[in-house]
Amino acid sequence: MLKFTIKTEDKHSKARLGEITTFNGKITTPCFVPVATYGAVRTLDPEELKEIRVEAVLANTYHLFERPGADLVKECGGIHKFMNWNGPMLTDSGGFQVFSLGKGIEHGVGKIGFFPGLSVSKIKRISDNKNRFGNVKVAEEGVTFRSYLNGKVYEFTPEFSIKIQEKLGADLIFAFDECTSPLDSYNYTKLSMERTHRWAKRCIEAKTREDQGLFGIIQGGRYKRLRIKSTKFISSLPFFGIGIGGALGRTKREMRNVLLWVSENIDRNKPAHLLGIGQPEDVLLGVEYGMDLFDCVFPTRLARHGVILTKNGKVNLLNSKYKRDFSNLAEHCKCKVCKRFSKAYLHHLFKSKEILAHRLATYHNLYFMVEFINEIREAIKLGRFLEYKRDFLRNYKTRSPKYDSF
RNA sequence: GAGGCCGUGGUGUAAUAGCAGCACAACAGGCUGUGGCCCUGUUAGCGAGGGUGCAAAUCCCUCCGGUCUCC
């Protein structure tokens, strides 16, 4: 039985505690969902995820479609069995790849576009009304991708994405959308959003399985009118949940505005998933504006690149100052990695490019995110979310120029 | 002892008279619906001394170091 229940609502913000029940277990919300693109959270065994108390993972439809193929996964009995994960699972629709394999690569931008050293006014607009960029071509019917594995051309339509996701068999699935670029013009973003809306209806019609919850996706880029329109439209359709996708702005200030506009117009009875967001400071912002689910590669990717998350901010273990630092990895962390290994040892492992470094850092970062979310939940329960947020940000130092405007 | 060849950042190399460049390493920053990559900065060099030239890593001499051949 698939359902979403709201348990507690914060009086001073839109933060709330809830629970999503799926056929493979429950997800307490707010929840951080690690990404398992190819059916694996890089470097970790599902048993370790359970040990860390990760509640759900998100796999990627486009990537699994390319290899090993949706039919093979179905033949095995679904993605849960295939990867031996018995908890809730999500699959992305492939819509993000329209951006990440297209304009994202072509123009070197992330979904929150920001160019260090450049002011917003200096960021040149790269958008035009062409529907073709890089290896991706968008049309009314769907999107064609040229595979980066073998050069083959695949066509993803809303119907096809749903079909693949039904074969994979995750508990929560997403409508096929176009994720636009933060630098897209108003006109292109509008055109794309309207198309994504038509696709949303086609996804609902294409869906056949009753044991999967389908999320619609709000687009509209950084433009107020479009975001509000998209939020209202997606909220009006019979989706199980709602994803907030796409270009979230060119700066954090713009991202905050997007969240504000969405939060004022969204159907609050449905779980809201802020797609692809996962830096701690951004999770706090999302929770404040009523977001329930977050998925992000950030903690796991950062870990593989030698950076661990701590309450005082990011720690780059590759820095030479850790060469002889024999203190525990993160000061107040109770995870088994921090209890057993020193900064100096991990510094050495990263310098030596040992795989163990990736595993240990990934384990810690996910543990950190789970603890972080637990604290957020506890704060909401106590009616002290905004105080918690303020205290957390006071300690969590970041020199990132992106962190400019909260 | 005689002769040949060779000495360019930490390492490997390019420039053969005309702005000493590249790669890796080192040092630091970035990474938000995943390629473990990648991107961006920074530091750092003509073995030593002398000569010729407007100009020398480059030509000449001495020394130092390496390497090979012969006695």
pLDDT at A50: 97
pLDDT at A159: 98
> How far is residue A237 from each of residues A90, A201, A204, A231, measured CA to CA in Å?
20, 8, 9, 10
ipTM for the assembly: 0.85
Residue pair A161/A176 in contact (Cβ under 8 Å)? The answer is: yes
Q: How far is the CA of A7 from the C1' of B59 (A)?
A: 88
pLDDT at A131: 59
Active site residue A295: yes
Q: Model's pTM, two decimal places?
A: 0.92
Candidates A10, A92, A171, A292; catalytic one: A92
Active site residue A92: yes
CB atoms within 10 A of CB A344: 16
Which nucleotide's C1' is closest to A277 (Cα)? B32
Q: How far is the CA of A232 from the C1' of B2 (A)?
A: 96
Q: How far is the CA of A315 from the C1' of B27 (A)?
A: 16
Q: What percent of chain A has pLDDT over 70?
A: 92
Q: How far is the CA of A349 from the C1' of B6 (A)?
A: 39
- Per CATH, the number for A3-296 is 3.20.20.105
Output the average pLDDT for chain A.
91
Helices (H), A266-332: 280-288, 298-304
Q: Strand pairing of A153-156 and A213-218?
A: unpaired
* DSSP classification of residue A328: B
Q: Which nucleotides of B are covered by protein (CB under 7 A)?
A: 26-38
Cα–Cα distance measured from residue A315 to residue A325, given in angstroms and rounded to the nearest whole number: 13
What ranges do the domains of chain A cover?
A: 3-296, 304-395
Instruction: Please list, in sequence order, all residues whose beta carbon lies within 8 angstroms of the beta carbon of residue A115, skipping any fewer than 6 positions away.
Output: A123
Region label for A158, one of left (φ > 0), alpha (ψ between -120 and 50) or beta (otherwise): alpha
| Tens-place pLDDT, residues A37-94 | 999 999 999 999 999 999 999 999 999 999 999 999 999 999 999 999 999 999 999 9
| Tens-place pLDDT, residues A146-161 | 887 778 889 999 999 9
Q: How far is the CA of A198 from the C1' of B62 (A)?
A: 86
